[in-house]
């Protein structure tokens, strides 16, 4: 497909002293379609040209030669912007031709060819509940993975399990004392959590128990077989529960190398830091002082000799550099860990590895999940388990379906897709840094800006195609039949699909795609309400059916890229 933005930058570049490539970065797609198809913000030139943006816009408009291009219909000045209106027929033809060539690969690209991205996501802690906070990391990470991959990148999805640390010394001690009082096999995480709470309380009352716990972790680190076996059991039963959730969500990982994986890889990191001369003793511990960066010190080795979460993350960076030769690592982790990542990214500068690995470490933070009634706490007694939430969403979707469409086939399967789609879309449709509100009525509203709404529009498009019984041949499409506002809006939106996906990766923000799908779904609803798709005139019918087919394909693709499935009917 012609790159319209490129055409526009070329034309502007002939008249200003800025390179085509730079201009290309400035050009935007206006939010409101009445403002044209593309907009050039002239304030980007104001400093260089010593003129007010509006004056630049007016002067530029005079200079630009429209005969240079067969795609631009007109240009208008609006404030400091120069708005470009493209020639409708040429856009319609371009989009249809491109779609007919690429099908459900429409929007994919090669910008990521030969580039590798490690995505560190989900990463729950073993023997602790997988709560709704981990859901955000899981769905944002999984969606970024799919979108990067669609743009040609090689992705490596890593579940950096929290499976190491002093807490396992405690858990081992609790298990040793009271293990047979608990039914760990049938309900592992809940029972282990109870043991953990009990032993933590016991430690508070009796110093010597705490000492035993510390010794257990030391033994575990030294490879003691009793401790190691127990730890392996805790890890295995936890993973079994986590995998149930991942299967339900359809989420996959390329690696489950968690914190424990780095036990034998930290001494190298400590040596490197030592050599850098920056590792200093402080009250028996070894730290990297970060005062000049305005941060608390980064603890590398504790006074009792044990390593930390930070040290393990540093070892992971080194390992990933060597193993995956990454172009960047994305850490999809709650904003509560902002400081942790700032610290380790700073300390990573001291590691003995190529600069490219040091520069491309990126924390992708996200906000908290709040229930309509208040904050969701993971504290004792108030744990909201993710699996229960997902199952509740499926059950609620099922009862809505029972009510609206009692004769539907495969109701359970549809309910699963709709229920999960509602939760995932709710999570991804708001900017990730915003705290998320969890409200059943909003997310399962079939008429709101929700997953079920977008799925429903897709299903409706599909049923039109089914009713027609054929998908028209592209060479039979007369584009003159798509010259109404509704059709044109849809085509323009479809034409922006590739750019939308690229914007997701520029900001690590899947919500850009979710919002895009809402726009497309609304545009199709309007088109559907205003036109008879199946109609008297065969040429009109073919053109409209093809448009319907494109919309159905792209909505389905877009939802899939967010990790959402679309039912055949609903
Ligand atoms: N296990 C941590 C938690 O649940 C998240 C780990 C994130 N990844 C990382 N490389 N530190 O809070």
CA of 308 to the centre of ligand 1 (A): 12
Closest Cα to atom 8 of ligand 1? 160
DSSP single-letter state for residue 192: H
Closest Cα to atom 1 of ligand 1? 162
CA distance 443 to 140: 17
Token pair in block for residue 32: 């409101």
Q: Which atom of ligand 1 is nearest to the CA of 124?
A: 4
* pLDDT single digits (tens) 250-297: 999 999 999 999 999 999 999 999 999 999 999 999 999 999 999 999
The pTM is what? 0.93
Which of 160, 258, 338, 362 has the most ligand 1 atoms within 8 A of CB, as the residue to mutate? 160
CA of 363 to the centre of ligand 1 (A): 11
Average pLDDT over residues 90-118: 95
Burial (CB count <10 Å: 0-12, 13-18, 19+), residue 337: middle
- Helix ranges (H only) for 111-206 are 132-150, 167-178, 188-205
Q: Active site includes 14?
A: no
Q: Which atom of ligand 1 is nearest to the CA of 333?
A: 7
CA of 295 to the centre of ligand 1 (A): 20
Q: What angle do CA 160, 162, 166 make, to 5 degrees?
A: 145
Q: Active site includes 557?
A: no
First to last CA, the chain: 34
Of the candidate ranges 88-92, 140-144, 357-361, the one whose mean pLDDT is the lowest? 88-92
SS (H, E, C) 322-347: HHHCCCEEEEECCHHHHHHHHHHHHH
Judge whether 77 and 59 are in contact, CB under 8 Å. no
Which of 123, 134, 135 has the most ligand 1 atoms within 8 A of CB, as the residue to mutate? 123
CA of 258 to the centre of ligand 1 (A): 9
What pLDDT score was predicted for residue 495?
95
Ligand 1 neighbours (beta carbon < 6 A): 120, 123-125, 160, 162, 313, 331, 333
Percent of the chain with pLDDT over 90: 82
Average pLDDT over residues 189-195: 93
Q: Which atom of ligand 1 is nearest to the CA of 133?
A: 4
Which residues are paired to 28 by β-bridges?
Answer: 39
- Report the candidate in 365, 367, 371 with the shortest Cα–Cα distance to residue 392: 371
* pLDDT single digits (tens) 529-544: 999 999 999 999 999 9
Q: Which atom of ligand 1 is nearest to the CA of 340?
A: 11
Catalytic entry in 134, 160, 416, 552:
134
Q: Active site includes 131?
A: yes
CA of 122 to the centre of ligand 1 (A): 8
Closest Cα to atom 5 of ligand 1? 123
Catalytic entry in 5, 44, 131, 552:
131
Catalytic entry in 128, 219, 302, 411:
128
Whether 375 shows a pLDDT value over 60: the answer reads: no
CA of 136 to the centre of ligand 1 (A): 13
CB atoms within 10 A of CB 359: 12
Phi, psi of 438 (to 5 degrees): -105, 105
What pLDDT score was predicted for residue 129?
86
Q: Which atom of ligand 1 is nearest to the CA of 336?
A: 12
Closest Cα to atom 4 of ligand 1? 124
- Give the helix/strand (H/E) hosting 77: strand 72-78
* pLDDT single digits (tens) 379-433: 444 456 788 889 999 999 999 999 999 999 999 999 999 999 999 999 999 999 9
CA of 4 to the centre of ligand 1 (A): 42
Closest Cα to atom 11 of ligand 1? 313
Whether 208 shows a pLDDT value over 70: the answer reads: yes
CA of 412 to the centre of ligand 1 (A): 34
Judge whether 235 and 140 are in contact, CB under 8 Å. no
* pLDDT single digits (tens) 316-346: 999 999 999 999 999 999 999 999 999 999 9
Whether 452 shows a pLDDT value over 80: the answer reads: yes
């Amino acid at each position: 497909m012609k790159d319209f933005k490129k055409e526009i930058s070329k034309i502007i570049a002939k008249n200003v002293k800025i390179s085509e490539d730079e201009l290309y970065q400035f050009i935007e797609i206006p939010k409101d379609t009445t403002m044209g198809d593309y907009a050039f913000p002239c304030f980007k030139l104001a400093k260089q040209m010593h003129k007010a943006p509006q004056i630049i816009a007016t002067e530029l408009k005079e200079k630009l030669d429209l005969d240079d291009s067969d795609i631009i219909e007109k240009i208008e000045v609006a404030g400091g912007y120069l708005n470009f209106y493209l020639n409708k027929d040429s856009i319609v033809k371009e989009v249809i031709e491109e779609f007919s060539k690429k099908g459900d690969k429409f929007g994919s690209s090669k910008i990521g060819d030969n580039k590798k991205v490690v995505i560190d996501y989900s990463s729950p802690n073993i023997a602790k509940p997988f709560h709704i906070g981990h859901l955000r990391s899981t769905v944002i990470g999984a969606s970024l993975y799919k979108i990067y991959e669609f743009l040609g990148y090689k992705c490596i999805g890593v579940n950096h399990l929290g499976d190491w640390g002093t807490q396992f010394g405690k858990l081992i001690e609790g298990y040793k004392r009271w293990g047979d009082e608990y039914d760990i096999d049938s309900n592992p995480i809940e029972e282990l959590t109870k043991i953990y709470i009990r032993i933590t309380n016991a430690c508070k009352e009796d110093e010597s128990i705490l000492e035993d716990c510390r010794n257990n972790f030391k033994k575990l680190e030294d490879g003691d077989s009793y401790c190691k076996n127990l730890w392996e059991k805790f890890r295995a039963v936890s993973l079994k529960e986590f995998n149930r959730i991942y299967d339900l969500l359809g989420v996959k990982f390329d690696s489950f190398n968690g914190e424990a994986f780095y036990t034998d890889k930290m001494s190298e990191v400590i040596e490197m830091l030592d050599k850098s001369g920056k590792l200093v003793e402080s009250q028996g511990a070894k730290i990297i002082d970060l005062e000049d960066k305005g941060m608390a010190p980064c603890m590398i080795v504790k006074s009792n000799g044990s390593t930390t979460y930070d040290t393990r993350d540093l070892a992971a960076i080194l390992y990933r550099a060597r193993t995956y030769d990454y172009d960047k690592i994305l850490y999809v982790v709650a904003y509560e860990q902002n400081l942790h990542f700032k610290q380790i990214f700073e300390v990573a500068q001291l590691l003995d590895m190529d600069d490219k690995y040091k520069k491309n470490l990126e924390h992708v933070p996200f906000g908290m999940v709040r229930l309509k009634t208040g904050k969701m706490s993971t504290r004792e007694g108030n744990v909201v388990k993710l699996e229960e939430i997902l199952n509740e969403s499926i059950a609620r979707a099922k009862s809505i379906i029972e009510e609206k469409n009692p004769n539907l086939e495969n109701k359970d399967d549809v309910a699963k897709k709709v229920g999960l789609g509602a939760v995932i879309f709710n999570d991804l449709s708001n900017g990730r840094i915003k705290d998320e509100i969890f409200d059943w009525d909003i997310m399962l509203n079939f008429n709101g800006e929700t997953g079920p709404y977008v799925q429903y529009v897709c299903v409706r498009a599909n049923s039109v195609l089914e009713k027609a019984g054929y998908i028209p041949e592209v060479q039979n499409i007369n584009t003159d039949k798509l010259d109404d506002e509704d059709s044109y809006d849809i085509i323009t939106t479809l034409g922006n699909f590739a750019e939308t996906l690229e914007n997701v990766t520029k900001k690590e923000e899947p919500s850009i795609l979710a919002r895009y799908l809402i726009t497309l779904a609304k545009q199709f609803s309007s088109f559907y309400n205003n036109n008879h798709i199946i109609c008297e005139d065969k040429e009109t019918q073919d053109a409209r059916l093809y448009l319907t087919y494109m919309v159905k394909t792209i909505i389905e693709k877009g939802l899939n890229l967010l990790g959402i499935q679309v039912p055949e009917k609903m």
